[in-house]
A and B are shown apart, each in its own frame.
Chain A
C-alpha cells in the first residue's frame, strides 16, 4: 500500500513538473539566467535585479532569472553555474571570477549552444585565449584602479591632498581576481611616483578586518593612502586610521586618504562628509540590462558584438557627487539613508 502511495505521489509530482514546464515554455520565448557572485549580502545586487526587471518590461517574451551566491567561495559559484547550465537556458550572463575554474564549465555550455555573455569581471586573457563568450559587459577592474590612482595623483600634484608615500590595498576576498586587478591598476598608477602599493587580505568579517588593518598600519607608518576595494569596508579603513591618530580625511593637511569603489550610498556619503576622497561607478545598471539585450539580439538576430562593452569607470569625487546622489537615491529609495553606516 505504501509503495502504491509513493508511486502515485511520484507520478503526480512528475505530471506537475511536465505541465508546469510546458506552460512556462509557452509563456516565454526565451529564458536568460544571470549567475552572479553579487548576492543578497551585497547592496549592488539591487542595480542588477532592477535593471533586469526593466528589461523584462520591454521584452515581455523573455523571462530573466538572477541567481547568486552569498559566500566568497569559488567552488559554490561553479556549482551554481553548473546548475544553471543544466536547466538549458537560452543564454547565460556570468562574471569570470576565475578564468581557470570557469573555462571548462562555460566552454561546455557554449558547446551545447548556450550563448554566454561575461559581465562585471572579464576573462583577463587576450582574445583567442580567453573563454569564447559573446562579449564582455562591465567595467574594467584594472582601469578602475588605474584611473582612481591617476585622479588622486592629479589632486596631490595640485596640492589639494598629500602625496602618496605608500598605499594599502585592502581586499576582502582573496579569490576574486577583479579585486586584485583593481589593486594592480592602483599600483601601476603609483609606480609613476615610486609609491609602493601593498595588497592586504583583510577578510570580510568587520572585526577581523579592522584588527588586520590595525596590525598592518601600526607597523607600516609610511602608509598614507588606503584603497578599500569594497565600499562597505571604507568606514572600517577610515575608523582604524582615525583610531591610530592618522588624521584621515580629504585635504592637504590630512594624514590618510581613503579611496573606495562603487556608487553605493556609503561611498557617496563618505565623499560628501569629506571622509572619502573618491569612488568610481562601473555602470552597474547597464551591467544588468545590456547582457540581457545582447543575449536577446543574439538569439533573435544573430548579433555577435565585435568588441567588449565597457560600462566604466567614471570617477566620482566632491565635484560631481551631487549629480550622483539623486540618481542612486532613485534606485535605492528609502534604503539609501539606511545604508549610510558612517
Chain B
C-alpha cells in the first residue's frame, strides 16, 4: 500500500507547490483564454497579425506592469507611470534634434530615473503616501506635457527613425518586434533579480513585513528607492520603445496606462499588500488583458466593454488570488 502513496505524493507535491504560487490562477487563466479563443475563433486567433498585435501592446504594457510589480512588492504603488511613459517619450523626441539619438535616449532615461527618485523622496522622506505622491506626479507630468508641447508632439525626423539605436528598440528581428524581445529579456532579468539576488530578498522582506526587515538589517529606504527608480525607468523605456516603433504620436500618449499596469500586476497575482507576487504573473496578466481586448473587438464587442471587463477581471483575479493564498497557507 505504501508504494502507491509515494507515487501520489510525487504527483501531488508539484501540484501543491503550484497551487501555492501567487501566479497559479493567471497561469491557468491565460492557458484557458488562449484555448477558448483558439476554439471559438480559430480563423482570426491564429493569424500572424493577431499575435503581432497582442505581443506588441503586451510589450508596452508589460514593461510598465513589471515596474509596477516591483513597487507593489515593496508595499507601495506608483500611479504616475502613465505620465512618466508619456513625458519620457516626448522628451526623447524633443531632445533628439539637439542631442542626437544616443544622447537623447540617455537623457530621457535619466529623466525617468530622476522622476522615480523624486517619487521615492516624496514618499520615503516626505512621509506622503505613495498613492497621493504618485497621483500628484501623474497630474503634474501630464500638465508639463501639455504646457511644453502646446498640444502637439514634434515630429521624429526620418534620420532619427532610421538610426540603429532607434531600430534596436523599434525594429524587428525574425519578424518579431524588438520591443517584444526587450520585454522578454527584461522579464527574465527582473525575475532573476527578484528571486535570486540580495536586492530581491530585501524587496520581498520589506513588502512582507517592514519592521521585521528593518530589524534584520535591511535598508528599507534604499530598497524602496531602487523600486521606485526601477519602476520609472521601465515606464520610460516603454515610452521610448513605443516611439521607436511608431513615431506618429500625440500628447495623450500613455493616458490611463497606469491603471492598466496595476490591473495587469494584480490579475497576475501581485498582492497590493506587498511581499507576494511574481514577474511571470504580471507578464501573463498583461497577455491576458491584451488578448481579451483583441478578441473582444474581433468578436464584435464594442471596445468600451473592455473597460468593464478589466473591472470584473480585476475583482475576480484579486478574489481568486486571495482565496488561493489563504487555502495554500501562503
Bound-state Cα–Cα, A46 to B149, Å: 12
Q: Is the CB of B298 within 8 A of A218?
A: yes
Give the distance to chain B from A23, nearest Cβ to Cβ, in Å: 28
Knowing A39-B146, A206-B248, the reply to whether A211 touches B152 (Cβ < 8 A) is no
Bound-state Cα–Cα, A337 to B299, Å: 40
Q: Which residue of A lies closest to B300 (CB)?
A: A219
Is A212 close to B, CB under 8 A?
yes
Is A157 close to B, CB under 8 A?
no
Give the distance to chain A from B43, nearest Cβ to Cβ, in Å: 9
Bound-state Cα–Cα, A203 to B293, Å: 13
Q: Is the CB of A207 within 8 A of B60?
A: yes
Give the distance to chain B from A208, nearest Cβ to Cβ, in Å: 7
Bound-state Cα–Cα, A44 to B247, Å: 21
Q: Is the CB of A206 within 8 A of B250?
A: yes
Q: Cβ of A202: which chain B residues have Cβ within 8 Å of it?
A: 303
Give the distance to chain B from A106, nearest Cβ to Cβ, in Å: 26
Is B191 close to A, CB under 8 A?
no
Is A215 close to B, CB under 8 A?
yes
Q: Is the CB of A40 within 8 A of B297?
A: no
- The size bracket of the interface on B is 35 or more
Is B221 close to A, CB under 8 A?
no
Is A58 close to B, CB under 8 A?
no
Q: Return the contact of B155 from the options A205, A207, A340 (Cβ within 8 A).
A: A340
Is A174 close to B, CB under 8 A?
yes
User: Which segment of A139-147, A176-184, A231-239, A305-313 sits at the interface?
Assistant: A231-239
Bound-state Cα–Cα, A172 to B252, Å: 10
Q: Is the CB of A338 within 8 A of B152?
A: yes
Is A200 close to B, CB under 8 A?
yes
Q: Cβ of B60: which chain A residues have Cβ within 8 Å of it?
A: 207
Q: Cβ of B294: which chain A residues have Cβ within 8 Å of it?
A: 211, 215
Is B273 close to A, CB under 8 A?
no
Q: Is the CB of A335 within 8 A of B152?
A: yes
C-beta contact mask, B247-262 vs A, less than 8 Å → 1, else 0? 1111111111100000
C-beta contact mask, A84-101 vs B, less than 8 Å → 1, else 0? 000000000000000000
Q: List residues of B whose CB falls within 8 A of some A CB.
A: 44, 47, 49-50, 53, 56-57, 60, 142-143, 145-147, 149-156, 242, 246-257, 290, 293-295, 297-300, 302-304
Q: List residues of A whose CB falls within 8 A of some B CB.
A: 39-46, 70, 172, 174, 200-208, 210-212, 214-216, 218-219, 232-233, 235-236, 239, 243-244, 335, 337-342
